[in-house]
Amino acid sequence: MLGKGLIIHYRKSLRISLNQANKVPGEISALKLVFDLNRALVFPPPVTIPIHVYEELRPKTRVTMRRLVRYFVSREANQIQITSGLVISRVTDILLKGASVHEKLGYCNLSSRINAIIKRDLVQDHPT
């Protein structure tokens, strides 16, 4: 009986996984369309004050340009009820691949400033 229950559970979870996989291309297209129609949602960074981003993210480790872009993409994705990390990551990669050097520079500068805040807080938490 236990084996049969495991098989049924496996089939249900596989069916759910397959249904989610079928939705991914449509969600990627929908989310990418949002940014194609209004690129200003992500380039330049919507929030340029590093302390505001730091307070929202509360990062423990250094912040990269990709992580910041992914964060802003996920904020917009949540507005249209897309919560899949796979979809958000894929759209982030597509946006970064098509971004100009100038657009990426805004995120590089913002990540450097956030990392300085993280470093400052680490020094304050662990004085030597």
90: which residues sit within 8 A by CB, 6+ positions away?
24, 28
What is residue 13's predicted lDDT score, i.e. its pLDDT? 47
Angle (CA) 52 66 33, round 5°: 95
What is residue 122's predicted lDDT score, i.e. its pLDDT? 79
Per-residue model confidence as pLDDT tens digits over 94-104: 999 999 999 99
Section 19-23 average pLDDT: 66
Per-residue model confidence as pLDDT tens digits over 98-123: 999 999 999 999 999 999 999 998 77
Section 11-22 average pLDDT: 52
Section 44-53 average pLDDT: 91
Can you say whether the dihedral through the CA atoms of 55, 57, 60, 63 is positive or negative? negative
pTM as predicted: 0.79
Burial of 115 (0-12, 13-18, 19+ CB in 10 A): middle
